[in-house]
A and B are shown apart, each in its own frame.
Chain A
Amino acid sequence: MTRDRISFLFINIGHFFDHLILLVFATVAALVLVREWGLSYSELIPYAIPGLIAFGVGALPAGWIADKWSREAMMVVFFIGLGVAAAATAFAETPLQIGVGLFLIGLFAAIYHPVGLAMVVEGRRRTSVPLAVNGVFWNMGVACAARLIDVAGWRAAFAVPGTVCITVGCAYAIFVYTGARHRLRTTVSERHDETVPDAKLTISRRSLFRVFAIVFFTTAVGGLIFQSTTFALPKVLEERLHELAGTSTEVGWYAFLVFAVAALAQLVVGYLVDRYPLRTVFACIAALQVVLFALMQQLAGAAALLVAVCFMLAVFGQIPINDVLIGRTTTSACFDSSSRSRWRQRRCQ
């Protein structure tokens, strides 16, 4: 296995832990803490808010530091910081303590997307499939979060992935330390040479602003849909699958099943956007979501499970579209005829 592939594997594993640890609480709160701590679902969920805000806002300084310092070093910080925060959260005795733990988890988890995703697309000619493969890893992380508490209890659901995450971080630090010079000399310089011709798009400045506005809007609203569905799904299944799932273990299994099947959507959509007009694929995915969410309102039992699988397919399928749209648009901005200065090219690399 080449160093590039090993690096790609580490980055994918990072995406797995990023979403696994971030979503443990959603399942824990829905299925276990409601009983153990005697609080309602709506009373527990607000303790996740500081962490979710940190997850979003923290991406800005994380990306800035990575550009100034080192993406690889920031990934080491991500693995070890996230692992320590998760392991510490396992010792929480009160909702406030778990809120502090979730804040730290959100803070370190925020490092992944601006740093890890940049490393996935760095210098690649076709980015859709690598992004889709990377996306499958976080889907599996989400799926495992739903399963983990049934296997070992809610404290272990934080402690076990936290410990493994620290171990992976140490392994990645050794990998980076032993091969940093080699990678800098070979892959980066070669990759950029082959990227430029294929990535060149011709979009007028006016269209570019329109695309940026649409990307901003769809990413924001898509994020709302994504967070709501992934966070609420375990509780939705608990309420709607009375006939099929009587225990939290069974609910966990169904949530795992839904997320795992939906993970395939990223591969399919990644394949489609490389071959068909992005607008067509995007519109179809959005239309599917409209219909499926409307259908889900009053459904229960097996029909609800089936529709849940379908809408999670559509929700996860939208993620590579946003990534590709941002990638194509920013590449276009970088290599537009009016912006060929070395400064602009350097900024976009």
Chain B
Amino acid sequence: MIAFIHARWDFAALFLVLSVAAATIFVAALLLPNTSAQRS
């Protein structure tokens, strides 16, 4: 992916892709149950 993006665009495009990827992780993290409340 790095080679592909670097050859066609530049690292600005790579950071855009990474920013979107991190946004999906943010949403996924919010869907986690609250583990601190589940300790017995």
For chains A and B in complex, what number of residue pairs have CB atoms within 8 angstroms? 115
* Bound-state Cα–Cα, A298 to B7, Å: 17
A246 near B: Cβ within 8 Å?
no
**In the complex, are the beta carbons of B34 and A279 less than 8 A apart?**
yes
Q: Within B6-34, which residues are at the interface with A (CB < 8 Å)?
A: 6-7, 10-12, 14-16, 18-19, 21-26, 28-34
**In the complex, are the beta carbons of B38 and A283 less than 8 A apart?**
no
Contacts of B14 in A (CB 8 A): 228, 232
Contact-residue bracket for chain B: 20 to 34
**In the complex, are the beta carbons of A289 and B25 less than 8 A apart?**
yes
**In the complex, are the beta carbons of B3 and A41 less than 8 A apart?**
yes
- Stretch of A1-9, A217-225, A247-255 that contacts chain B: A217-225
A125 near B: Cβ within 8 Å?
no
**In the complex, are the beta carbons of B32 and A279 less than 8 A apart?**
yes
Which chain A residue lies CB-closest to B26?
Answer: A286
State how many angstroms separate the Cβ of A311 from the closest Cβ of chain B: 8
Known: A222-B25, A289-B22, A293-B19. A41 touches B6 (CB 8 A): yes
State how many angstroms separate the Cβ of A76 from the closest Cβ of chain B: 33
Contacts of A318 in B (CB 8 A): 25
Contact of A279 among B6, B35, B40 (CB under 8 A): B35
Known: A203-B38, A236-B11, A279-B30. A45 touches B21 (CB 8 A): no
Contacts of A298 in B (CB 8 A): 12
* Bound-state Cα–Cα, A328 to B38, Å: 11
**In the complex, are the beta carbons of B21 and A224 less than 8 A apart?**
yes
Contacts of A349 in B (CB 8 A): none
State how many angstroms separate the Cβ of A10 from the closest Cβ of chain B: 31
Q: Per-residue CB proximity of A256-293 to B under 8 Å, as 1/0?
A: 00000000000000000000111100110011011001
> Which secondary structure dominates where chain A touches chain B?
helix
**In the complex, are the beta carbons of B2 and A221 less than 8 A apart?**
no
* Bound-state Cα–Cα, A210 to B32, Å: 8
A202 near B: Cβ within 8 Å?
yes
Contacts of A282 in B (CB 8 A): 29, 32
Q: Within A198-248, which residues are at the interface with B (CB < 8 Å)?
A: 200-203, 207, 210-211, 214, 217-218, 221-222, 224-225, 228-229, 231-232, 235-236, 239-240
A178 near B: Cβ within 8 Å?
no
State how many angstroms separate the Cβ of A322 from the closest Cβ of chain B: 10
A46 near B: Cβ within 8 Å?
yes
Which chain A residue lies CB-closest to B40?
Answer: A202
Contacts of B6 in A (CB 8 A): 41-42, 45, 232, 235
Contacts of B38 in A (CB 8 A): 201-203
Contacts of B24 in A (CB 8 A): 217, 221
Contacts of A221 in B (CB 8 A): 21, 24-25, 28
**In the complex, are the beta carbons of B18 and A279 less than 8 A apart?**
no
**In the complex, are the beta carbons of A218 and B29 less than 8 A apart?**
yes
Known: A224-B1, A228-B18. 19 other contacts (CB 8 A): A42-B4, A42-B6, A45-B2, A214-B28, A221-B24, A225-B22, A228-B1, A232-B11, A232-B14, A236-B11, A239-B10, A277-B36, A278-B35, A279-B30, A282-B29, A286-B25, A290-B26, A293-B15, A297-B12
Residues of B within 8 A of A (CB): 1-4, 6-7, 10-12, 14-16, 18-19, 21-26, 28-40
Residues of A within 8 A of B (CB): 40-43, 45-46, 200-203, 207, 210-211, 214, 217-218, 221-222, 224-225, 228-229, 231-232, 235-236, 239-240, 276-279, 282-283, 286-287, 289-290, 293-294, 296-298, 318, 325, 328
Q: Which are the 4 A-B pairs with shortest beta-carbon distances?
A: A289-B22, A293-B19, A286-B26, A42-B7
